[in-house]
Structure 1
Amino acid sequence: MKRRPLSLPALAGVGAAMLSVLAAFLVLARGLPAQSEITVFRRPGCLCCLAWVARLREAGFRVAVQEEPHLGALRLRLGIPESKASCHTALTREGYVIEGHVPPQDIRRWLQERPALRGLAVPGMPAGSAGMEGAVSEAYDVWTLPLRGEATVYAHHPAGPSLP
């Protein structure tokens, strides 16, 4: 059987169909969270930091870990107020600061929203937060780190049931 070449209108139709499929794919892909890279700076020997890193990796983030014995100086350079400090500091590829045990789902939402703010923080080490899971789970807030002005609550996580 001899093949006939496609006519110009037929080729245009195939090209338009392919562009429509590509456009639909791009629209769908835009709504999906991209895998992000996060660099975590932690004090040597801190185990809860590694537990938080494990939660990030489980959520699909690519994580690099660097030991940093002078976290206070790093926080000062990054503009993190002492009242919002925790045991580790992270930077996303997009340039956001993530301080402390911020849940991966809050980070993902933040990266999708891309606000014109410095980042997010969970001050201290609340029981039940990402990487701090255990027998007790207390309520805690995730705070914004503004470029100027006051921090505001970004997400609230209520206390949960204790583990058996």
Structure 2
Amino acid sequence: MDRYLKELQRTSTTLAAAGTPMQRLHDFAEVLHACVGFKLLTVLVIDRVRDESRRVYSSRPDIYPVSGAKPIRPDSPFFKKVIERGEPSISRTLDECAAAFPDHEVFAALGCGSVANIPIRWNGVTLGSFNLVAEEGKYSDRDLPILNTIGALAIPVILQALDRA
């Protein structure tokens, strides 16, 4: 728990400093890596005007470039669970990833098979999500308290990113 507290204190310090959303999202990436780890992290924002989700941060822009956008698919399990209901989603195996994500082959090529999708919500609305990808079996329900807390701390940064879109 002390490790998490140290990282949360670091987060509060960086949030108070001047900076761009991209700088703050990089800070969040460092905290997420220190707390639960990942091989790939993307941050999506939900643009309800354009009906699309847009990538505003990627730890691997060579694979998942920033500013990539996809139409919102309201019938997808990801949209229903993470965006509509605001519930985190964990895929623990490559088979679970294959069932949930059309780009699961990219995950496999990175040696990954576990995904944690963490909604970032404000006032009952999902603004975006942290999407962490790591080796199979990496994420579990025990990671959710710290991931949800970090997601809540990201609200002002995501609001600022949406304002600049």
Question: What TM-score, normalized to structure 2?
Answer: 0.29
The structure with more helix, counted as a fraction of residues: 2
Question: What TM-score, normalized to structure 1?
Answer: 0.29
Whichever of the two has the greater Rg, that structure is: 1
